[in-house]
Amino acid sequence: MPSLEEELFPSTPGKFKIDRGHGMSRQFHRCFASTSTMFLWALFLIALTVSYLSFQSFVDSGGRYFSASWGGIQWEKQVRNSAQIHRSGGMSVLVTGAAGFVGTHVSLALKKRGDGVVGLDNFNNYYDPSLKRARKSLLNSHGVLVVEGDLNDAKLLAKLFDVVAFTHVMHLAAQAGVRYAMENPNSYVHSNIAGLVSLLEVCKSANPQPAIVWASSSSVYGLNDKVPFSEADRTDQPASLYAATKKAGEEITHSYNHIYGLSITGLRFFTVYGPWGRPDMAYFSFTRNILQGKPITIYRGKNRADLARDFTYIDDIVKGCLGSLDTSGKSTGTGGKKKGNAPYRIFNLGNTSPVKVPELVNILERHLKVKAKRNIVDMPGNGDVPFTHANISLARRQFGYKPTTDLQTGLKKFVRWYLSYYGYNNRKSLQ
């Protein structure tokens, strides 16, 4: 006896048996056959649509399945735990760039005083990612989860805001470095422009909207030669693409403040240094080279003038970041709609006492007890500015910002950390 399927879809058309003797029955049979065919086709199409949709959602969440590590009930639980507030009046903060230099220190300080902290970092290889992994371990050991992901992953950002109603965002993720912008300009656009906008888009739609404090840079003063640099000074002459993207960030955040009522605070950091610092920065790479007996290149400005920086110790910067978070004021919008004016602030966070680069090297030599092999060259046209010097009175007035660590003291702490981190303390002599 043929099955229903065989009856409807005979293997060869010739096998289809037609009963010529019974017209009614033949019509009925034809009608039945075509209804069943349509039914099966419909089933087939539904199945096709369902499998297409589930494949699509699988691909959409590809970031999760293919490249990294977020999503799922367990992950959400970890995010919630990390964001848990342990003091009255505390905040829950999303720290972007948490495995970076400033991000690590700020995350630890927030966690230590009882705030909830969730970190986000893409662990790119601009500099040794193993240092970022070590910072991540440090954060984990203090109960701070660092989610691995990129600012441009809007789905991940939205998910984080679904899981936690962050009160604040401390946005420190960026492509840093002044001179590297000539090598890899697109990385600055990717992180400092596109990444910033991606973050602001999610923040503006969040309900409640968080207040945002973010890292701008002293480099926005560019060719400004009015000293010390005040927030009201001109910032329309950037000397590097890095500076230009940070300046663009100030304008972009202003537009989100204006349209959506996001509370924004931009912090112009002045050459931040200290333990767990960035290996691409001069104080760090000079230390490495001096210890390895390699020469260091010291740039010199016009007319053989030494370059100078308002080097600022990390602990002072952390105090400035926390002071900014504490006084940020609320965003006013909900669901992407502005409900009133929100604060828009910009502060210098510097040390107010510039030091010439050769003097920085003198201090390192004393702490390391090793002479540097100095190679002094005229500053190439690489985006550097001759000097920086912060006026910090605005931050002092607003939240009592007062740096207390001079370069001599700060570098001593950095060198102690460096020797211990890279294992020099266990060796008989410095190499």
Give the residue numbers marked as catalytic. Answer: 242
Produce one character per residue of 322-348: b if its CB has 16 or more CB atoms within 10 Å, e if not: bbbbebbebbbbeeeebeeebbbbbbb
- The nearer residue to ligand UGB, 331 or 388, going by C-beta atoms, is 388
Q: Could you say whether residue 240 binds ligand UGB (CB under 6 A)?
A: no
Q: How far is the CB of 384 from ligand UGB (least distance, A)?
A: 4
Residues 6+ apart with CB under 8 A from 321: 102, 106, 109, 170, 213, 267, 349
**Secondary element (H or E) of residue 347:** strand 344-349
Q: How far is the CB of 140 from ligand UGB (least distance, A)?
A: 26
Q: Could you say whether residue 235 binds ligand UGB (CB under 6 A)?
A: no
Query: CB count, 10 Å around CB of 300?
Result: 16
Q: Could you say whether residue 357 binds ligand UGB (CB under 6 A)?
A: yes
Q: Which of 34, 57, 297, 431 binds ligand UGB (CB under 6 A)?
A: 297
Both structure tokens of 334: 């909900």
Q: Which of 92, 198, 217, 263 binds ligand UGB (CB under 6 A)?
A: 217
Produce one character per residue of 281-298: b if its CB has 16 or more CB atoms within 10 Å, e if not: bbbbbbbeebbeeeebeb
Q: Within 88-127, which residues bind ligand UGB (CB under 6 A)?
A: none
Q: Within 153-182, which residues bind ligand UGB (CB under 6 A)?
A: 176-178
Q: What are phi and psi of 103, to 5 degrees?
A: -60, -40
Q: Which of 170, 196, 290, 307 binds ligand UGB (CB under 6 A)?
A: 307
Q: How far is the CB of 284 from ligand UGB (least distance, A)?
A: 8
Evaluate whether 215 touches 106 at the Cβ level (below 8 Å).
Answer: no
Q: How far is the CB of 159 from ligand UGB (least distance, A)?
A: 30
The window from 78-86, 263-271, 318-326, 340-348 that contacts ligand UGB (CB under 6 A) reads: 263-271
Evaluate whether 346 touches 266 at the Cβ level (below 8 Å).
Answer: yes
Q: Which of 122, 167, 218, 328 binds ligand UGB (CB under 6 A)?
A: 218
x-marked contacts with ligand UGB along 270-289 as a string, rule CB under 6 A: xx---------xx-------
Q: How far is the CB of 147 from ligand UGB (least distance, A)?
A: 23
Q: Within 385-424, which residues bind ligand UGB (CB under 6 A)?
A: none
CA distance 72 to 263: 31
What is the total count of residues that contact ligand UGB (CB under 6 A)?
18
CA distance 342 to 332: 6
Peptide bond before 343: cis, by omega within 30 degrees of 0? no
Q: Could you say whether residue 317 binds ligand UGB (CB under 6 A)?
A: no
Chain centre to alpha carbon of residue 140: 18
- The nearer residue to ligand UGB, 154 or 248, going by C-beta atoms, is 248
Rounded to whole angstroms, the maximal C-alpha distance in the chain is 113
Contact positions vs ligand UGB (CB under 6 A)? 176-178, 217-219, 269-271, 281-282, 297-299, 307, 309, 357, 384
